[in-house]
Amino acid sequence: MVAALRAKPGGEDIGVTIGDFATTKPDGMFSVAYLVFNTIMNLTTQAAQVACFRNVAAHLEPGGCFLIEVGVPSCSGSRPGRPSAPTT
């Protein structure tokens, strides 16, 4: 992925830090932290997700945003407090 980024115009100008996004400490502070396309779901424990939020908070400038893109399962066929209806 980094090689694909570097191959694009201006790609050499974008800083990259490689590591576990829950715990890796990039240099600097940022106005936006963005977890694309359900990436938060790769952290499968509450402790790991809390570590991620703490890590992001430690690297956001004042007024910065933590944006998490995540799909929400359809609720069709279910009622509040009940699991989804079987599909068969």
Ligand X SMILES: C[S@@+](CC[C@H](N)C(=O)[O-])C[C@H]1O[C@@H](n2cnc3c(N)ncnc32)[C@H](O)[C@@H]1O
Q: What residues line the site for ligand X (CB under 6 A)?
A: 20-22, 36-39, 42
Q: Is the CB of 61 or the CB of 69 nearer to ligand X? A: 69
Shortest reach from residue 86's CB to ligand X, in Å: 29
Report in angstroms how near the CB of residue 31 gets to ligand X at its nearest.
19
CA distances in angstroms from 33 to 17, 42, 47, 72, 79, listed in the order given: 13, 16, 19, 20, 34
Q: State the minimum distance, in angstroms, from the CB of residue 47 to ligand X.
A: 12
Residues 30/66/54/48 CA torsion (nearest 10 deg): -130
CB-nearer residue toward ligand X: 39 or 64? 39
